[in-house]
Amino acid sequence: MTESEKSPPLWRQLQVTVDVLLAVEAGKSGSTVMETVAPELRAGVQALAFHGWRQWGRARALRGALAKRAPPAQADAMLCLALALMWDPSIAPYDEFTMVNQTVEAAKRTAAMKAQANFINACLRRFIREREALLAHTSTSLEAQWNHPLWWIKRLQRDHPSSWQTLLAAANLHPPMTLRVNQRQISCENYLRHLQEAGIEVSAQAGARIELAQAVPVLGLPGFAHGWVSVQDGAAQLAATLLLAGSALGPDARVLDACAAPGGKTAHLLELGDARVTALEIDAQRAQKIGQTLQRLGLEAQVVCADAADTPAWWDGKAFDRILLDAPCTASGIVRRHPDIRWLRRETDLDQLAAEQRELLRALWPLLQPGGRLLFCTCSIFRVEGAEQVQAFLANNKDARLLPSPGHLLPQTAPPAPIVADNGFGDHDGFFYALFEKTSP
């Protein structure tokens, strides 16, 4: 097999990447759309799309400077993608000649933008000629500087006035690959030895949490198929530890993991304790992933496909000792792993998701027995999905007591919030944690 047969041509990858970009712009998740891409194209398209999303603010500003009137949607996406891929030579995956040549080829081979091929070619060649002037002109734009929507930037300026720049810069970096050792299967010491024997270098380690110096294919991890280890960000690994801390739960204790897919936190709860765990998930396909995760790790839980807020539809009336509510949110804390999120979300989503979080808290709190604990968490760095939720919940539930909680976990420590203090502890995703205890009536 020749090299050209092994790898689809760049122009073809660009065509499919534009389709992915437009689907996200239309409101579909990048992860969901990527699953529809042909296997032979997926790796290349994902690399191009991720690069594009991380540079999209600059690319859109440059396109605005090159053409005051936007071309049709497909041609606009193709032009912006090319600009995103070539504006900064220090991170450009291809040289300028290749990028222009293959972008124009992709346009010519696409019926909907064939008529725009010459326009795209002219814009890209003008950019090369006038690069310095165009970059200087667009550098006055906050979107171009930080490659995030303006509303997102302004929200972070309000929520984190002393660290918004650090947060935006961190969101454009590549995240580390962090593992969680399944200590029911293997000790951390033994697993570290297996990593060393496999030539996989570790950059940090704390208990069962291991951070790799370089990412590796999941199936290349020693014992992954046998359930020795899972891939889970360091901040996400705090959930099970926080919820189960303080007192041992016996085999008759009941733990609820609401909104549980894909099952990483459910599995961690089972790895750390002997309680009976119920994992809820509203989406049937995502619920199947919980079962697959547990099967690989050799663990068992009751997996229920239901809306956590619709408690009459699934609850048996027996109170839970612990509840983990990893609530739906903007996912603003994980944009370095999923760079499409910043362009997928709209500012109006914040109020809608915050209302959904409040409804889940309202529905699940009565299911907790006195003395029990509920851990509320989101993978968000916006206050409306964190500290502001805590304030509202405590005001409306006099039988709730806030226990020591990390609050907003950020790449760098920010000033303490009035109720829950921020606590940065390393290279991790953005998260929020609040642990509540139900007091006796």
What pLDDT does residue 412 have?
A: 46
What pLDDT does residue 427 have?
A: 76
**pTM of the predicted structure, to 2 decimals:** 0.91
How far is residue 354's CA from residue 329's CA, in Å, rounded to a whole number? Answer: 7
What pLDDT does residue 437 have?
A: 97
pLDDT at 138 over 70: yes
- Give the rounded distance of the alpha carbon of 54 from its chain centre: 14
Q: How confident is the model at residue 206 (pLDDT cuts 50, 70, 90)?
A: confident
Evaluate the CA torsion angle 425, 429, 432, 435 in order and state its sign.
negative
pLDDT at 311 over 60: yes
Q: How many separate helices (H) and strands (E) can be counted in the chain? A: 19, 11
Contacts of range 60-64, beta carbons closer than 8 Å, 24 or more positions apart? 60/143, 60/144, 61/138, 61/141, 61/143, 61/144, 62/87, 62/127, 62/134, 62/135, 62/138, 62/144, 63/123, 64/138
Residue 57's identity, in one-letter code, is: G
Q: Assess whether the previous peptide bond of 89 is cis (omega < 30° from 0).
A: no
How far is residue 191's CA from residue 183's CA, in Å, rounded to a whole number? Answer: 9
Catalytic residues: 379
How far is residue 266's CA from residue 49's CA, in Å, rounded to a whole number? Answer: 31
Q: How confident is the model at residue 428 (pLDDT cuts 50, 70, 90)?
A: confident
Instruction: Determine which of 114-128, 241-255, 391-405 has the lowest per-residue pLDDT on average.
Output: 241-255
| Among the listed residues 57, 79, 1, the one whose alpha carbon sits nearest the alpha carbon of residue 335 | 57
Instruction: Determine which of 121-125, 200-204, 352-356, 399-403 has the lowest per-residue pLDDT on average.
Output: 200-204
pLDDT at 420 over 50: no
**Average confidence (pLDDT) over 14-25:** 98
pLDDT at 85 over 60: yes
For the chain, what is the mean pLDDT? 93
C-alpha separations of 435 from 18, 207, 297, 394 in Å: 43, 22, 27, 11
pLDDT at 271 over 70: yes
> What is the SS3 assignment for 138?
helix
How far is residue 241's CA from residue 23's CA, in Å, rounded to a whole number? Answer: 38
Local structure of residue 172 (DSSP, 8 states): T
What pLDDT does residue 426 have?
A: 54
Q: What whole-number percentage of the chain has pLDDT above 70?
A: 95
Q: How confident is the model at residue 441 (pLDDT cuts 50, 70, 90)?
A: low
How far is residue 196's CA from residue 190's CA, in Å, rounded to a whole number? Answer: 10
Query: How many alpha carbons fall within 13 Å on the CB side of residue 365?
Result: 20
pLDDT at 414 over 80: no
Q: Are strands 229-231 and 276-281 parallel, antiparallel or unpaired?
A: unpaired
How far is residue 98's CA from residue 101's CA, in Å, rounded to a whole number? Answer: 5
How far is residue 144's CA from residue 149's CA, in Å, rounded to a whole number? Answer: 9
Q: How confident is the model at residue 413 (pLDDT cuts 50, 70, 90)?
A: very low
Q: Are strands 229-231 and 178-181 parallel, antiparallel or unpaired?
A: antiparallel
Interacting residues of 48 by C-beta distance below 8 A, sequence separation 6+: 13, 14, 17, 81, 85, 93
Q: How confident is the model at residue 394 (pLDDT cuts 50, 70, 90)?
A: very high
Q: What whole-number percentage of the chain has pLDDT above 90?
A: 89
**Average confidence (pLDDT) over 114-130:** 98
**Average confidence (pLDDT) over 105-122:** 97
Q: pLDDT higher for 4 or 14?
A: 14
How far is residue 153's CA from residue 167's CA, in Å, rounded to a whole number? Answer: 10
Bridge partners, 276 (sequence order): 254
What pLDDT does residue 89 have?
A: 96
- Per residue in 141-189, pLDDT (tens digit) is 999 999 999 999 999 999 999 999 999 999 998 899 999 999 999 999 9
Evaluate the CA torsion angle 314, 315, 320, 326 in order and state its sign.
positive
How far is residue 229's CA from residue 260's CA, in Å, rounded to a whole number? Answer: 19
